[in-house]
Amino acid sequence: MVRLDAAGTWRRESPLDVAAVARELECPQVRHIDGKWFLIFSAFPALFSDEVRSRYGRQLRLGTYAMVGESPHGPFRFEQSEPIVPADHADQPYAGQVLQMGGRPYLAGTVWRDDSFDYLNTPIPLRRVGNRLAVVD
C-alpha cells in the first residue's frame, strides 16, 4: 500500500490484513470513523467468495460495504453482510467514498440508472453502530 503523507511524499506501507471475502474489493479506502477503523469497498454478489455467498446468500447485493479493523492496516473483518445503505433507501450508491464534512462522515457514490442518466448521490450521513457503519436516520 502507498500513502501520500502530509509533506506531499508518497510512502510505501505494509499491505492491509484483510479477510478473504471477495475476489475484488472495488474502490477500497480506509477511514477512521467514531473511534473505529473501517475498510470501505464496493462489490456485487458474484465477486464474493463461495464461502461468503453460501453463508450470507440473499443479504449480499450490489453496493458499498464496510469491514471493521483494529488499525489502519487491519486485520479487517467482514461483520456487515449487507451494504452500508439499506435496500429501501432512495439512492443506492456504488463505488462509494466516505467524505468528511463538518467533522462528520458522509457516503457519496455513483447511482446507476437503467431508465435515465447515472448520477452522484447527495452525500448520505453515516454513523458508527458498534462494529458497523449505518445511515443516520
Q: What does pTM read for this prediction? A: 0.87
72 is a domain residue:
yes
Q: Is 85 exposed, middle or buried (0-12, 13-18, 19+ CB in 10 A)?
A: buried
66 is a domain residue:
yes
Q: Whole-angstrom Cα distance, residue 101 to residue 111?
A: 21
Boundaries of domain holding 123 = 25-135
pLDDT at position 1 is 66
Domains in the chain, number:
1
11 is a domain residue:
no
Q: What pairs with residue 26 in β-bridges?
A: 42
Q: Is 77 exposed, middle or buried (0-12, 13-18, 19+ CB in 10 A)?
A: middle
2 is a domain residue:
no
Residue pLDDT tens, the chain, 137 long: 677 778 888 888 777 888 889 999 999 999 999 999 999 999 999 999 999 999 998 889 999 999 999 999 999 999 989 999 999 999 999 999 999 999 999 999 999 888 888 989 999 999 999 999 999 97
10 is a domain residue:
no
pLDDT at position 4 is 76
Neighbour tally for 36: CB within 10 Å: 16
101 is a domain residue:
yes
48 is a domain residue:
yes
